Amino acid sequence: MSDSREFIVEPTIGRACQATDDQICAAALTWMQDEIKTGPASLTDIGKFFFTVSTGSIAAVAAIAKLGSSFQVGWVISLSMLLYLVSVALAVVIVFPRVWSLSSTTDLLTEYRKKIKRGRLWTIGWLLVWLTAVILSLVALSQ
């Protein structure tokens, strides 16, 4: 493999051409602009999915519990339902878009990394809460 700035151009398959620094900078700028435009939308889509999974989990556990004739509401199932409601709330928080404050002195890469880190933390938080609720539901329903 040669220089990292070398790439294959579609019409001349097999022939490499050198990208200039200006071309690399222009491509990076275009990518950042697209990320700024579409980045929040992908996190919103994830939040919508999480909301659906959380509410569907509540419905599934309630339906399974209702089918069991000897099922009694105890602290385990109550805690799992509370955690499902927390996961719904986290999904709603994830769905709300954040306002980007950009100026001429803003480092776009730093802002992008902050948004990615925030999205990752909220996603992991939702997953942990939801999985805990699922485990507690399984324990409660198996009793």
Task: Write the pLDDT tens digit of every residue in 45-55.
Answer: 888 899 999 99
Please write the tens of the pLDDT for every residue from 6-65: 554 455 555 566 777 888 888 888 887 787 777 667 778 888 899 999 999 988 888 887
Residue 8 within a domain = no
pTM of the model: 0.69
C-alpha 49/C-alpha 87 separation (Å) is 12
Residue 18 within a domain = no
Q: Which domain holds residue 59?
A: 39-142
Residue 71 within a domain = yes
Residue 13 within a domain = no
Domain count, the chain: 1
C-alpha 53/C-alpha 103 separation (Å) is 38
Per-position DSSP letters for 80-100, written without gaps between them: HHHHHHHHHHHHHHHHSPPPP
Residue 25, burial from CB neighbour count under 10 angstroms (0-12, 13-18, 19+): exposed
Residue 23 within a domain = no
